[in-house]
Chain A
Amino acid sequence: MYSYMDTVSSVQSSVFFVLVVILGAFTTLNLVLASIMHSYLQ
């Protein structure tokens, strides 16, 4: 992220990478946990 903040634009790259972390990591991790929990409760 810092590399692209230097070479492109601080706003563009920080928005892009923060969205990647929120949607690509946090949300997906929660979906994985929800899927395992669903199986466990069944």
Chain B
Amino acid sequence: MCILANSGLLASKEYDKNYDANYHSWWNEVLDICDQVFSYIFLAECVLKIIAMGYIFHKRAYLRDAWNCMDFAIVVFSVISMTPLSNQKSLKIFRTARILRPLRSMHQLKSMRSLLQTFFSSIPGLLNVCLFMAFIFTIFAIIGVNLFVGKQYQFCRATEEPLADGTWPISEDASWQCHTDDMCREYPNQDLADAKVATCGDIYDEFGRDPVAYDNAYDIESINYDITNFNSVINASITIF
């Protein structure tokens, strides 16, 4: 009951319009008091269990059980967060550890406990799946690099040739990606509108220049700000992931 009530109260904290974590309201003050009360209740439970079961040396001692270790860590974090020390910036993490308290409910519910145990026991098997996944990603990354390296920088350009300063401005009338000049016309594949609006070109392929420096690729939304690309196997693996 205490764990459920504490979890509900943790979720009901109020914030102002700026989402200030130190926002003071009467409800937040009530929550702070309730938080201290719950911390004392959990501390008392922990102390009583240690007295009844023994601390660590006994065969069935309190800290011999993994769930109790988690409970103990949460109680220790709670105690530290109640001391004036927790106001220091580096120790504020202990206050954040309060969000671990709902985890205690998993220990109490048998069905949840078996699900968690299943998850932890399947980790060795999942590692094999991860290795297989890395293998698949690497193969696709290599294929992707062969097919797509540098291709995403092909845009409709405003001029036939790059300018004297080395830049090749992207057309404002047709600022989309392309692979033929026809795609840069206003109405592609139509004879009526065969006037060329722009030239399709890639500064990297044609002139070996860095698209990031010459095209400001980091500012172009349509190529995802150059975060995802197939320029190297590592970048391609991250892109596929």
A28 touches B119 (CB 8 A): no
> Contacting A6 at CB < 8 Å: which of B122, B147, B183?
B183
132-177 of chain B: CB within 8 A of chain A: 132-133, 136-137, 140, 143-144, 147-148, 151-152, 154, 176-177
B133 touches A13 (CB 8 A): no
Number of A-B contacts defined by CB within 8 Å: 70
Interface residues on chain A, number (Cβ under 8 Å): 22
- Cα of A6 to Cα of B118 in the assembled complex, Å: 46
Q: Secondary structure of the B side of the interface?
A: helix
- Measured CB to CB, the closest approach of chain A to B139, in angstroms, equals 9
List of A residues within 8 angstroms of B128 by Cβ: 35
> Contacting B147 at CB < 8 Å: which of A3, A13, A38?
A13
B125 touches A35 (CB 8 A): yes
- Cα of A6 to Cα of B178 in the assembled complex, Å: 5
Report A1-22 CB contacts with B as 1/0, cut-off 8 Å: 0011011110011001001100
- Cα of A42 to Cα of B122 in the assembled complex, Å: 10
List of B residues within 8 angstroms of A3 by Cβ: 152, 177, 222-223
Q: Secondary structure of the A side of the interface?
A: helix
- Cα of A3 to Cα of B151 in the assembled complex, Å: 9
> Contacting B125 at CB < 8 Å: which of A12, A28, A39?
A39
Question: What is the chain B residue whose CB lies nearest that of A19?
Answer: B140
B179 an interface residue at 8 Å Cβ cutoff? yes
> Contacting B178 at CB < 8 Å: which of A7, A16, A23, A28?
A7
- Measured CB to CB, the closest approach of chain B to A6, in angstroms, equals 4
- Cα of A36 to Cα of B118 in the assembled complex, Å: 7
B5 an interface residue at 8 Å Cβ cutoff? no
List of B residues within 8 angstroms of A7 by Cβ: 148, 151-152, 154, 177-179
- With A7-B179, A23-B136 given, is the CB distance from A32 to B129 under 8 Å? yes
- Measured CB to CB, the closest approach of chain B to A37, in angstroms, equals 9
A24 touches B148 (CB 8 A): no
Closest 7 CB pairs of A and B: A39-B122, A35-B125, A6-B177, A40-B118, A7-B151, A7-B154, A36-B122
